[in-house]
Amino acid sequence: MRKLLLIGAAVLALGGSAAAVASQTARSETFRMLELFGDVLSLVERAYVVEVDNRKLIEAALKGMMGALDPHSSYMSPDDFSDLRERTEGQYSGVGLEITSENGLVRVVSPMDEAPAARAGVQAGDIISAIEGQSAAGLSVSEVSERLRGAAGTEVRVTFLREGEEPREVVLTREVIRVLSVRGNVEGNFGYIRIATFNENTGRELNETLARLRRENPNLRGYVLDLRNNGGGLLSAAIAVTDAFLDRGEIVSQRGRSASQIERYSATRGDMINGAPLVVLINYGSASASEIVAGALQDHQRATVVGLTSFGKGSVQTVLPLSGGRDGALSITTARYFTPSGRSIQKIGIEPDLEVARSVAEARLVSRSTFIYSEAAFSTALDSAIGQERRGPHVPREVPADDFPADEDFQLRRALDLLEVGGNLARLTPVPERTAESLTVAANAGEQP
């Protein structure tokens, strides 16, 4: 027995020694690559055709390193970090676009409500191909943002690409974007609440909006919560919004690299609409915080989700200031979000209880694209962690009829129809199903003069 114990101890010692050697080897390789970086920087400094700015080169290297991780990890320069703080505080000057980058292309995640870009017809998924006539290919998100932002009243020419259409150049007049996170109005017997983004003011503005709607009509029979084209924002705001409609239970969990890195957020007592029927509207421009809200309310069967599958951005980014922000900051992915039932949002999105396309054109896009513009389209996207994939091309369950007025909102119409029957899907009169062929015929008819 003593001999066996000695042999076991020797094996453990050898195993520990092997681990130490492996760790030392990895550190040595890291130091070698850092030396290589220094050598390359020195060579560029000496041999490049014109004098170089070392700070700019190092910042570019930092951005490249973070961009290799996933689409949402990034290095922010001091100016970029300052811009981020302005956006979360709810005011800045620009054209009103949430954008992201993939494979050298900058795409629109969502246009902000009533901002210059939205008024010009810019849509989620549009590619920014040129700014002031100069190609935007290869530019980073921060570089594009810098060119789009400017003094209120100044103009910027932007060319957008959209699937199946010719390039479209629009002139956008910059303005101070005062992001009113929440707005609402009474629609007959129901309250309509639109949340455009999740910022520091969202929870307060939601409370104020609900109180105002109740004053306007004390007998409201239900509510629509519109999160379409809401690209997300602060986790704390998403929790506050969800908590407003839940009386108890988990809202969301975030899970990091190890089993110990799990954080759970739960609702507090009190449903601000006292259990009234609730419908949540989402689409492929609904991301991050929007998906947390929709997923939690759906899991708790507190709301019926209507629209199209959301974007699928279910990763947590932690902003780490460098030297107190003097050297910028890192936005680094540290965890994934999971709904109360344990569903991963990442790359999958939230599937609606009632799938409804806003238009025939939107239905065609869903039916023929391998992926409608979503997190899953990014080659560097973090996986879902649960082995599931986003649903592929298909015809949405409900599509407006060919004669449905183009200036009306079919998704909102169906949400209100659902509230008319008390939020009970089983009692909702369905619309006739469409086929991919009928969508093509309808689209072709619409293209005729």
- Beta strand extents in 103-141 (DSSP E only): 105-111, 127-131, 134-135
Q: How many CA atoms lie within 13 A of 156 on its CB side?
A: 24
What's the chain's length in residues? 449
Any residues with CB less than 8 A from the CB of 20 and at least 6 apart, and which?
A: none
Q: Are 63 and 75 in contact (CB under 8 A)?
A: yes
Q: Are 52 and 362 in contact (CB under 8 A)?
A: no
Cα distances from 283 to residues 138, 244, 291, in angstroms, run 28, 22, 10
Tokens (6 digits) for 376: 């899953």
Cα distances from 128 to residues 110, 141, 230, 264, in angstroms, run 13, 11, 19, 38
120: left (phi over 0), alpha (psi -120 to 50) or beta: alpha
The catalytic residue positions are 288, 299, 313
For residue 180, which of 154, 200, 210, 151 has the smallest C-alpha distance?
Answer: 200
Angle at which helices 141-148 and 78-89 pack, to 10 degrees? 70
Q: How many CA atoms lie within 13 A of 222 on its CB side?
A: 18
